[in-house]
Amino acid sequence: MASYPNPSTFSTLFNGGFIAEHDRTLGLRCHDRHFRDAVVCDENGVKIFDFNAKDIVISWTLRRSLVDSASNRHILDLRHTKMGLKTWKLEDHQGNQVCKIQDVTSGSGFTAVDVQIMANGSEISAIQIRSFDKAGSRTTFQVDGVTIVEMTLTDNNDASFLHKRGLDRTTWRLEVVKGVDIALVVALAFAHAEISHAWRR
């Protein structure tokens, strides 16, 4: 994959210093099947982000927060409402919507997600997330036909008593090109993983 030629499109979203200065390979671990506890690790296995959810019964919205593990700083929220079955929202730490995420999977079963990146209520860019099989084991994120992320399923445990067995529900490898906002694509990767969890693809 080539480096993304226009990182300024994404750099204003969170302003947190998460633009990749070189190609990165990250690991995503989704601990439970309900997707309430997950982590992101760097190339050396060091945790860089936590991704946790509050109990779904306290709100009509399931809100998952991405937190910088080093500073414990809240970066963004991924929101999924009970009424919007196939729609997610991405908000910055001030609650401003910066992305709209739509599951547009067709009858073929190959996971397809469209992302609208927003600024001041208007779309400024779009990302297309497409899987190459029904299991979603290999997925690309593209902007204007350029692949900026490759996401690969590395472990899939659809089993009972995951924690007692010391298993994660799923784990993923995320290859991110230079110039891309890591926090943004990590949140989008979690949205894709949730779709895969929900439909057992």
Instruction: For 110-173, give the secondary structure using H, E and C.
Output: CCEEEEEEEECCEEEEEEEEEECCCCCCEEEEEECCEEEEEEEEEEECCCCCHHHHCCCCEEEE
The set of residues, in sequence order, having a beta carbon less than 8 Å from that of 105 and lying 6+ positions away, is: 111, 112, 113, 195
Sign of CA dihedral 25, 48, 154, 188: negative
pTM of the model: 0.85
Tokens 């029904």 appear where? 134
pLDDT of 32: 73
Burial, 146: exposed, middle or buried (Cβ in 10 Å; 0-12, 13-18, 19+)?
A: middle
> CATH homologous superfamily for 8-199?
LURP1-related (2.40.160.200)
Phi, then psi, of 14 in degrees rounded to 5: -120, -20
pLDDT tens per residue across all 201 residues of the chain: 555 555 555 544 555 678 899 999 999 988 776 677 889 999 999 999 999 876 555 555 678 899 999 999 999 999 877 666 788 899 988 888 889 999 998 877 788 899 998 876 677 789 999 998 877 789 999 998 899 999 999 987 876 666 667 677 888 999 999 989 999 999 999 888 887 765 554
* Alpha-carbon 68 to chain mean position: 15
Provide the 10 A C-beta neighbour count for residue 199: 13
